[in-house]
Amino acid sequence: MGLFSWDCEGCGHPLIMPLNAQDKNGWMTEAVAITSRGDVISGTYDGYGRLDGENIFDGLENDPQVYHKICWERAGKPNKFERPSRSSADQGHFYGENEHNSPPPGDPDFFHADEERPKAACPECGNEEARQWDAFRFKCGDCNGLFVPGGHDDEGEDPETQGEDRPDES
């Protein structure tokens, strides 16, 4: 088995080994894992399921729940195993040039790995291109507001945009 990885619960980017770090994403090599047994392990990811040499893949059915160290701190340092993190599509290795080359959360240029899925309308200014910022919140690029979609009020008026523009039938 070659290199493999999991995606961080906070930012969606994989844990990567230092050798694969680019100019902005060196922070993705420092990680915290919660094993299915409830152990919290932190360290530098080696690309093979170990943090500072300690195995975070326990060989059972359960993958660990993983965060980058920075994302783990921003999430309030969780220490209870809730669910296994998703396996990285690219295994933290074969990724596109800029796909994961993001500065850390909190930096204005930070971007979430899942640019397709997590978009929501900003409740403050109506910008519909607000992107997921961390595990729970979205950030509006226009007004810089942070919000949790559907957190409080129901989005009562949903513009019916679907199905109006049908692609040309060829």
Using CB under 5 A as the criterion, which residues of the chain lie in contact with Zn ion when the complex forms?
Answer: 8, 10-11, 68, 71, 122, 124-125, 127, 140, 142-143, 145
Comparison of 1 and 135: residue with beta carbon closer to Zn ion: 135
Q: How far is the CB of 116 from Zn ion (least distance, A)?
A: 18
Nearer to Zn ion, 52 or 128 (CB): 128
Q: What are phi and psi of 73, to 5 degrees?
A: -65, -40
State the minimum distance, in angstroms, from the CB of residue 123 to Zn ion. Answer: 8
Cβ proximity to Zn ion: between 101 and 127 the closer is 127
Residue closer to Zn ion, measured from CB, 37 or 126? 126
Question: Least distance from C-beta 124 to Zn ion, angstroms?
Answer: 4
- Report strand pairing: 130-132 vs 119-120: antiparallel
Shortest reach from residue 42's CB to Zn ion, in Å: 13
The residue among 8 and 34 lying less far from Zn ion, judged by its C-beta, is: 8
Query: DSSP string covering 58-106, please?
Result: -SSSPPPEEEEHHHHHHTT---S--SPPPBPTTTTTS--TTTS--PPTT
CB of 101 to Zn ion, least distance (A): 13
Q: Determine the 3-state secondary structure of 27 from DSSP.
A: helix
Distances (CA, A) of 124 to 46, 70, 131, 157: 42, 27, 14, 15
Please choose, from the candidates 109, 105, 112, 97, the residue with its C-alpha nearest in 3D space to the C-alpha of residue 7: 112
